[in-house]
Structure 1
Amino acid sequence: MRLNLPNFAAKAEYRNGARTLRITLRPGHKWSDGHPVTADDYVFWFNHVLMNEELTPVVEPRFKGARIEKHDAHSFSYHFPQPMPLFVNHLAHNSSRLAMPAHFMRRYHPAFTDPAQLEREAEELGLQDWLTYFAAVNSTTDLMHFNRPVLTAYVLVSRTSTRALLRRNPYYFKVDPEGNQLPYIDYLEVQRVDSPEIMAAKASTGQVDFAGRQFMTADIPLFKRFEQHNGYSTYVWPRPYGSDVVLQFNLNHPDEGQRRIFQDVRFRRAMSLAINREEINDIVYFGYGVPRQLTVVSASRYFEPEFATAWAEFDPVRARALFDEMGLVDRDGDGRRERLDGEPLQITLEYMIGETPKQVTLDLVSAHWREVGVNVNLKQISGTLQRIRARAGLMDMTIWHADRNADILFPIEPYWYVPTNGGWEQSQWSKWTRWYFSDGALGWEPPAQIKELIGWWETLRRTTDEDERIAMGKKILRSQAENLWALGVIGLGPHPVVVSGKLRNVPLQGYWGWDSRWTWPYYPETWYLDEEVAK
């Protein structure tokens, strides 16, 4: 995942020591309503969404001090205060969010429409204010549908709580080698079901043409068993994740006693040594995952084998010795260790499930930890609560899957290794992240070791020297291997993808996950239904 190819842009050119990136759009591209795609669409998003303090209260680090300049209808430049040679990675992976149909969205923005009018309209629709009104109009997934133009291969026609109907975008810009406009398939029906179990049941009985989201590794035997009888194939694509479950301790815990324990590297090392990764691989992954410590995928140019093996062996004897060395001992003989202040060592791990085998992994890991005297209570919570508590730094522990570990994303979003993300999926270091985001005005000032991590990443993302970039990336990952800022369990887990026997052009091999944007690299607009098989 290193090669970036042109798409809407004819070319992207760095100038001024990588402080300026000039984008030249291909003329003739259109939104789904037929209106031309121009530089105005990128300027509108940058100036009136990203830089609007109400819509974007905190600007992400990559855009701090940046500005945009329009040259003509089809070219514009991003100007950065410092070199940004990796900004093209962001464009390649997530550029769809950097443009909005300005001709359409201006109508709902107070810079172009009377704010009082927008507030009245929001109230009439039962929305809180112009901000929620703007977000609703911009959304293509909400039940309240405003027909916002898109650039995707398909356009939403209708949506209910259980299904969505999409038709091919008549202005989609891609064609096949013979000049036929893509996509080949005219209509898509997307069904929403109430549970992963129902989803797996529908897929295994041949009721879908393509499915993969929210399937689990444990579904593979079910899909394989019925694929021949029900006319589909089960492709197994690895997930490009450093770990399917990344275990995070709150290093900025509000309780000083708990914080002191979590910040002690001996504790994190002991917790890692207590995990029997081989057992988890056999039980959960049928032996096809990769037991490893949290780090980048092995195909990465930043990878070193010792990063994946650091403190990843199963050694409960050594784990117990490290706990004892810290003074975390069982004083009352109940099989559970006490804190340094004599209070019971009680840890609650709050989590939400999805995409990877999180629940069964947690069940096994928590059992391993009980064997060495550490009791971790598991508490499944809603996505809403996860967002609130993780961002506020209120959790003892949480988990997610360690995406952003392939070369397209690791160098620009090293979230698991450097405090640069204030998102809901992390709880390691929210106070240090806030300090970094606010240039020291908010949060907690981190120790020198964490400042060093931030400094290495700043060098990595600014340098135009590839060798220096790789060296900085390896320093960050070597620090992770030594300090275990978060723990990995199993990486590159197998993921089932169900493909109907009549669906053509779907590759047998691929990667499934956020780093690869699931099916994006495999050109789903070129997939088609074989009418002979369909009969």
Structure 2
Amino acid sequence: MNRAAIGVLLLAGLTVFDNRAFAEVPYFEDAVSRGDLPPMAERLPEHPRVIDFTEEHKEIGKYGGDLVTIMGRSRDIRMAVVYGYTRLVGYDENLVLKPDILESLDVNDAGNVFTLHIRKGHKWSDGTPFTAEDFRYYWEDIVNNDELFPVGPPRFLFVDDEPATFEVLDDYTVQYSWSQPNPFFLIELAGTRPPFIYRPAHYLKQFHKKYRDAAELDAIVEERGLRNWAVLHTDKDRPYKLENTERPSLEPWLIRTKEPSDRFIFERNPYYHRVDPNGNQLPYIDRMIFNISNAKLVPAKVGADEADLQSRILSLKDYTFLKQSEANKNFKVRLWDVGYGAYAALYPNLTCSDPVWRKLLRDVRFRHALSLAINRTEINRVMFFGLATPTNNTVLPKSPLFKPEYRTAFIEFDLKKANALLDEIGLTTRDDDGIRLLPDGRPLEIIVETMGENPEHDDMLELIADNWKKAGIKLFVKGLQREVLRNRAYSGETIMSIFNGIDNGLATPGSVPSEFVPVQQDNLQWPKWGQYFQTDGEAGEAPDMPAAKELMDLYGKWIRGNDAGRKEAWQRILDINAENMFSIGLIGNVPQPVVVNTQLRNVPEKGIHSWEPGAFFGIYRPDTFWWDR
């Protein structure tokens, strides 16, 4: 799709809609009658976002009720932002980008000028108009303020070293432009964790030294025991973490519970901008309730009917128990497809500090041998009832970039071939236990580090260890906290780790290929290369393998290319990853159990459970879910 077509597509979200004749939301009737809240017609934008129920297989619902779900820790209340999926531009169920908060968006043919049109009459949750000032405040007073953002604006607002040129065209129109195309901009705006390039200026200005009397601001900082005004401002903002119950929002439900708590209540936003085809203001459900529980207890609680909608923390191993509980409970268990490239993958750290291990891990024959010595069929049968699929860590068949060989290369279980490759490398000497020796005489013992969050990873490693031993490789498992593991990988201490596969298994030519190219420190197969890119060479190491250098060249071609050029770059990137097996996929297509109360409507029978793109339930519009009671 060319850029002109994208511009037309995004304009298609505009619907002229007269909402003045429709009845009030029952939840707000008393507040409206008391004069505490304006009637619905005055709360909605002139042109609200009308959700297309025909396209999205919905039915007109009824107002009312609470929806309960369970989280494993209080910090996961941020899932309200994920599930609510309120974005300037967002994906629909078919993963097509459409305006959401924005009324429309113009993109020029060159893809370097983006004009954002705000809905007139759209208001923050406290009734204050949402305007271009909220974008200006973010750009000028937050990300270009050295005390709030010492490193400057986020990376997606740059093209190479060129920051965006930001302009306010009028009260409801802003523009971002660069001299070169910026293919990251729209994708970032539609992301599961959005960048929030707008902020409630009217609220945050009271904590900004540019707008508040210095003595008054110092007094607040001192009273709170904070370091300075910038810490105070950041503390009062946090649009994703939801720690401030007073901060105005554009989300469908508003946080009303302060931490600490084991029960968080989110109340419907009276100024929310979406309506159904009949003009009813969304959301249908009045309150979202997040109960916090020990993760180990969540399947049992769900099986005891303590959640209305649940996927988080559940896995396929819980399916049999939950299915058995259906008969005398008020829920059904559905199996959704997943968007991960693999359910789990091994990540050899090609930038580890140990020179002997670094040389060995960078030998593609060694990575192929490790893969060939894994019995994925056994993992599937023992752990996933045969319902999963042995796979590499790559794009899914539903991706337009998919090739069958991406999924199947070097994944057959062949110990004879694995042993032959290890011999070919020169690892022919073994100790008395049959374990091969490294060139420096150490036994070939691989410590695989886990984040301790998924017990199934440990179970997979146990099965892998049995077969690797037959190839002369000893495997040890080391459980760590997520941040500890990441820091060890970043510093080069980690030799190998296990984690989920790529997030975006549904990639298109327009998707950013960052999970297959060494541009992110978080990519556990090459963290130092990613760190080098993200810090402009100030930290980490420059890629020094020919394949990695080619990937970086292709990444540049993707950034600068037209639609055909981007697809060509993507395809070659995937070819290189398949040939080199930089990460070793184990198993994929593991269905995700989704438990849904039998009286909850508009939840798809079959969906894709994906972080990016998709926001788990987000693209299915939880604001349209309703109770049929």
TM-score (norm. length: structure 1)? 0.92
- Residue 318 of structure 1, CA deviation: 0.9
- Residue 132 of structure 1, CA deviation: 4.2
Alignment of 1:28 onto 2:28: no
- Residue 405 of structure 1, CA deviation: 2.4
Q: Secondary structure at the match of 1:241?
A: coil
Q: Secondary structure at the match of 1:454?
A: helix
Cα separation, 1, equivalents of 2:264 and 2:372:
47
**Aligned position for 2:393:** 294
Cα separation, 2, equivalents of 1:461 and 1:272:
32
**Aligned position for 1:44:** 137
**Which of the residues 392, 395, 406 maps onto 1:307?**
406
Amino acid at match of 1:471: E
**Aligned position for 1:4:** 97
Alignment of 1:456 onto 2:554: yes
- Residue 477 of structure 1, CA deviation: 0.4
On the 8 A contact 1:2/1:408 being kept in 2, the answer is no
Q: Which moved more, 1:7-16 or 1:207-216?
A: 7-16
**Aligned position for 1:167:** 267
Q: Which moved more, 1:218-227 or 1:118-127?
A: 118-127
On the 8 A contact 2:107/2:113 being kept in 1, the answer is yes
Amino acid at match of 2:440: D
Amino acid at match of 2:297: I
- Residue 97 of structure 1, CA deviation: 2.6
Alignment of 1:107 onto 2:203: no
Alignment of 1:509 onto 2:602: no
**Which of the residues 140, 144, 149 maps onto 1:55?**
149
Per-residue CA deviations over 1:337-388 (Å, capped at 9, x if unaligned) read 2111112223222221447943322332333323322223211111331343
Judged with a 3 Å threshold, the aligned counterparts in structure 2 of structure 1 residues 324 and 52 are, in CA distance, closer, same or farther, namely farther
**Which of the residues 87, 90, 108 maps onto 2:185?**
87
**Aligned position for 1:417:** 516
**Which of the residues 223, 227, 230 maps onto 2:322?**
223
Cα separation, 2, equivalents of 1:198 and 1:227:
18
Amino acid at match of 2:583: A
Percent identity between matched residues is: 33
**Aligned position for 1:258:** 357
**Aligned position for 1:178:** 278
Q: Which moved more, 1:138-147 or 1:320-329?
A: 138-147
- Residue 429 of structure 1, CA deviation: 1.5
Alignment of 1:66 onto 2:167: no
What is the RMSD computed on CA atoms of the aligned residues?
2.4
Cα separation, 1, equivalents of 2:242 and 2:153:
28
Judged with a 3 Å threshold, the aligned counterparts in structure 2 of structure 1 residues 317 and 353 are, in CA distance, closer, same or farther, namely same
**Which of the residues 540, 548, 558 maps onto 1:443?**
540
Alignment of 1:433 onto 2:530: yes
On the 8 A contact 1:393/1:429 being kept in 2, the answer is no
Q: Which moved more, 1:180-189 or 1:127-136?
A: 127-136
**Aligned position for 1:247:** 346
Per-residue CA deviations over 1:159-212 (Å, capped at 9, x if unaligned) read 4431101111111111111111111111222101012x3111111111111111
5+ residue gaps, structure 1, are none
Q: Secondary structure at the match of 2:202?
A: helix
On the 8 A contact 2:339/2:506 being kept in 1, the answer is no
Judged with a 3 Å threshold, the aligned counterparts in structure 2 of structure 1 residues 139 and 316 are, in CA distance, closer, same or farther, namely same
Amino acid at match of 1:279: E
Q: Which moved more, 1:53-62 or 1:219-228?
A: 53-62
Amino acid at match of 1:502: Q
Cα separation, 2, equivalents of 1:184 and 1:71:
35
**Aligned position for 1:188:** 288
- Residue 334 of structure 1, CA deviation: 1.6
**Which of the residues 106, 111, 120 maps onto 1:18?**
111
Per-residue CA deviations over 1:429-453 (Å, capped at 9, x if unaligned) read 2221222223334322212431210
- Residue 269 of structure 1, CA deviation: 0.8
Amino acid at match of 2:446: I
- Residue 407 of structure 1, CA deviation: 4.3
On the 8 A contact 1:301/1:470 being kept in 2, the answer is no
Return the index of the structure with the highest Cα Rg. 2
- Residue 44 of structure 1, CA deviation: 2.7
Cα separation, 2, equivalents of 1:400 and 1:347:
16
On the 8 A contact 1:143/1:161 being kept in 2, the answer is no
Cα separation, 2, equivalents of 1:258 and 1:378:
17
Amino acid at match of 1:15: N
Q: Secondary structure at the match of 2:517?
A: coil
- Residue 329 of structure 1, CA deviation: 3.3
**Which of the residues 473, 482, 493 maps onto 1:383?**
482
Judged with a 3 Å threshold, the aligned counterparts in structure 2 of structure 1 residues 143 and 172 are, in CA distance, closer, same or farther, namely closer
**Aligned position for 1:234:** 333
Cα separation, 2, equivalents of 1:189 and 1:167:
9
- Residue 322 of structure 1, CA deviation: 1.1
**Aligned position for 1:200:** 299
**Aligned position for 2:44:** none
Judged with a 3 Å threshold, the aligned counterparts in structure 2 of structure 1 residues 16 and 118 are, in CA distance, closer, same or farther, namely farther
Cα separation, 2, equivalents of 1:331 and 1:352:
31
Counting matched residue pairs gives 527
On the 8 A contact 1:273/1:311 being kept in 2, the answer is yes
- Residue 484 of structure 1, CA deviation: 0.8
- Residue 111 of structure 1, CA deviation: 4.4
Amino acid at match of 2:557: T
- Residue 511 of structure 1, CA deviation: 1.0
TM-score (norm. length: structure 2)? 0.79
On the 8 A contact 1:162/1:192 being kept in 2, the answer is yes
On the 8 A contact 2:503/2:610 being kept in 1, the answer is no
**Aligned position for 1:482:** 579
Per-residue CA deviations over 1:494-517 (Å, capped at 9, x if unaligned) read 001111112111110101120210
Judged with a 3 Å threshold, the aligned counterparts in structure 2 of structure 1 residues 363 and 331 are, in CA distance, closer, same or farther, namely closer
- Residue 128 of structure 1, CA deviation: 4.9
Cα separation, 2, equivalents of 1:131 and 1:356:
40
On the 8 A contact 1:369/1:375 being kept in 2, the answer is yes
- Residue 394 of structure 1, CA deviation: 2.8
On the 8 A contact 1:350/1:378 being kept in 2, the answer is yes
On the 8 A contact 2:373/2:471 being kept in 1, the answer is yes
Per-residue CA deviations over 1:398-450 (Å, capped at 9, x if unaligned) read 23212332445785443431011123xx3222221222223334322212431
Q: Secondary structure at the match of 1:236?
A: strand
On the 8 A contact 1:239/1:492 being kept in 2, the answer is yes
- Residue 471 of structure 1, CA deviation: 1.2
- Residue 298 of structure 1, CA deviation: 1.0
On the 8 A contact 1:250/1:427 being kept in 2, the answer is yes
Judged with a 3 Å threshold, the aligned counterparts in structure 2 of structure 1 residues 50 and 297 are, in CA distance, closer, same or farther, namely farther
Amino acid at match of 1:102: A
Cα separation, 2, equivalents of 1:114 and 1:350:
51
Per-residue CA deviations over 1:134-173 (Å, capped at 9, x if unaligned) read 3332236769534111111100111443110111111111
- Residue 223 of structure 1, CA deviation: 0.8
- Residue 315 of structure 1, CA deviation: 1.0
Judged with a 3 Å threshold, the aligned counterparts in structure 2 of structure 1 residues 237 and 352 are, in CA distance, closer, same or farther, namely same
On the 8 A contact 2:368/2:418 being kept in 1, the answer is yes
Cα separation, 2, equivalents of 1:58 and 1:356:
39
Q: Secondary structure at the match of 1:472?
A: helix
- Residue 82 of structure 1, CA deviation: 2.1
Q: Secondary structure at the match of 1:149?
A: coil
Cα separation, 2, equivalents of 1:358 and 1:76:
47
- Residue 60 of structure 1, CA deviation: 5.1
Cα separation, 2, equivalents of 1:122 and 1:361:
50
Cα separation, 2, equivalents of 1:80 and 1:355:
43
Cα separation, 2, equivalents of 1:366 and 1:109:
56
On the 8 A contact 1:217/1:495 being kept in 2, the answer is yes
